[in-house]
Amino acid sequence: MQELATNATNVFKDVFGSEPAYVGNAPGRVNLIGEHTDYNDGFVLPAAINFGTVVAATGRDDRTVSVVALDFDNERADFDLDTLADAEASSWRSYVRGVLLALMEQYPDIKGANLSVTGNVPQGAGLSSSASFEIALLKTMASLNELPLSGAEAAKMGQLAENKYAGCNCGIMDQMISACGAKNRALLLDCRSLETKYTSIPEGYSVLITNSNVKRGLVDSEYNTRREQCEAAAAAMGLSSLRDASMEQLLAAKDKMSEKEFQRAHHVLTENERTLTMFDALNAGDMATCSKMMAESHASMRDDFEITVRPIDYLVELLGSLIGDNGGVRMTGGGFGGCVVALVADNKVDEAKTLILENYEKETGIAPSIFVCSAEDGAFTQA
């Protein structure tokens, strides 16, 4: 992240003519298990990673927020906080506008700022570049305005920005882990209560992320459709959320919902169980159980939730043949492309990378991107 911080600082000085008063960051995330459970009030087990968004900033005395986006050819946009609700925005600007509006619902009198922003989370890969961007902006504005903003409060604001202003009905997982992640740990998050518990990623294992480079955008995919199907399945059981459903209730109400709605709900119920089981397995260093849970999770995403694509399935099969029961591998993220996450023994990492590089492009015609990641602190847990 140091290189990003240097770049953000240099551009800030070039554009605004002074050193920034604040430089901070918020990480992206990888979800080890617990997919499409967050907006169903369920359980997830993500880790913050050493890829993220960096903001260099200085506060202003007026109500203008001026932002330079390094990753969009240093485009600059100015936002008037007093007329923001009426302003139209597109691309990255819609996220800035959404974050500021969400923040002002609780803190309407914030001052403006000059910001330069850059990041290295692969966009559209399922590693949550948008949440990293949102939390980085919220942490920056909170710091400049000396706001008593907690990580959980920031996560709710980031989610509101995404849901209300960016058009994606995501749950709160991405924003919560970006705000509250912990170094060398994964976070078990109860998405209903926002209760958190941490578990260590076992020593001797690395988090290997492979980007399939099959691009997808959540807003343009069937993500929102899956959420609607889950809500319909809950309603068919007379419940407000699938979190309250048991497998017995689901089976009893099967004839009250479509086959697709039943499948989606079946995934969510079983995924919650797998997530809790994997948390316990990580605590115990039981990698065989982790392997089983991750394999079952991927199969459920493929068959019940129907969000995988063939290149992703191939990557999981390829890595699974090497890892066996000493680790684990599954698709991660919203689906329809994106990334595969694997827990790999350190002495197998190079072999895993070679296996992917020698076979994936030959099979799919797409060159992969491989990242060996570490678990990092979130924006609101950084020292």
> pLDDT, tens digit, for every residue of 165-186?
877 777 788 999 999 999 999 9
Does residue 216 share a domain with residue 185? no
pLDDT per residue as tens, the chain (383 positions): 889 999 999 999 999 999 999 999 999 999 999 999 999 999 999 999 999 999 999 999 999 999 999 999 999 999 999 999 888 778 899 999 999 999 999 999 999 999 999 999 876 656 668 899 999 999 999 999 999 999 999 999 999 998 888 777 777 889 999 999 999 999 999 999 999 999 999 999 999 999 999 876 554 567 789 999 999 999 999 999 999 999 999 999 999 999 999 999 999 999 999 999 999 999 999 999 999 999 999 999 999 999 999 999 999 999 999 999 999 999 998 888 889 999 999 999 999 999 999 999 999 999 999 999 999 999 999 86
Residue 381, in any domain of the structure = no
Here the tokens at position 116 are 């330069």
Here the tokens at position 61 are 């005395």
Q: What percent of the chain is helix, strand and coil (3-state, nearest 5)?
A: 45, 20, 30
Nearest-angstrom CA–CA distance, 142 and 155: 13
Here the tokens at position 298 are 């991927």
Residue 47, in any domain of the structure = yes
Q: 0.85 exceeded by the pTM? A: yes
Mark whether 71 is an active-site residue.
no
Which CATH number characterizes residue 138's domain?
3.30.230.10
Number of domains in the chain: 2
Q: Which of 38, 41, 174, 304 is catalytic?
A: 174
Here the tokens at position 57 are 């900033």
Does residue 251 share a domain with residue 109? no
Does residue 232 share a domain with residue 192? no
Distance of CA 356 to the CA centre of its chain: 24
Does residue 214 share a domain with residue 187? no
Beta partners for residue 124, in sequence order: none
Nearest-angstrom CA–CA distance, 365 and 380: 41
Given this model, what pLDDT does residue 221 score?
Answer: 62
Three-state secondary structure call for residue 148: coil
Does residue 162 share a domain with residue 277? no
CB 204 within 8 A of CB 152: no
Distance of CA 11 to the CA centre of its chain: 27
Does residue 252 share a domain with residue 189? no
Three-state secondary structure call for residue 103: helix
Residue 290, in any domain of the structure = yes
Here the tokens at position 137 are 């902006």
Does residue 189 share a domain with residue 109? yes
Residue 380, in any domain of the structure = no
Residue 382, in any domain of the structure = no
Distance of CA 158 to the CA centre of its chain: 12
Distance of CA 179 to the CA centre of its chain: 11
Given this model, what pLDDT does residue 219 score?
Answer: 43
Does residue 263 share a domain with residue 179? no
Does residue 209 share a domain with residue 191? no
CB 287 within 8 A of CB 326: yes
